Amino acid sequence: MSMADKMKALLMAECSPNAVEVENVSHLHQGHAGSPNTGESHFNLKIVGGPLADLSRVAAHRKVMTLFKPLFSEGLHAVSLKVTKAE
């Protein structure tokens, strides 16, 4: 299972959002200090709806980072997060 698939599965199972978009931007960070250069280390996430949308930006980010903690030992390096309310 790819890192993107793991992140999406965790979010869907634990946070029940309406939608999750995962964009792999690892290619933009090749050679970056601390990057494992696996091609699956840097991601932009867009999460729509669900309980995360009711949290502050900081609280939502903390919740997602806690959820992804095991993935950081598997090569995840950086996550950009945008959470919006369902339209």
Residue ranges and CATH numbers for the domains of the chain are: 3-28+40-84 (3.30.300.90)
> Under a CB-based contact definition with an 8 Å cutoff, are residues 75 and 3 in contact?
yes
Residue 36 vs residue 68, higher pLDDT: 68
pLDDT of residue 29: 67
Dihedral (CA of 46, 50, 54, 59) sign: negative
Confidence of residue 36 (pLDDT cuts 50, 70, 90): low
Q: Give the type of residue at 51.
A: P
Q: What percent of the chain has pLDDT over 90?
A: 74
The model carries a pTM of: 0.85
Query: How many residues are given for the chain?
Result: 87
The values of phi and psi at residue 18, to 5°, are: -70, -35
Which tokens sit at 84? 């919006």
pLDDT of residue 28: 77
Residue 82 vs residue 32, higher pLDDT: 82
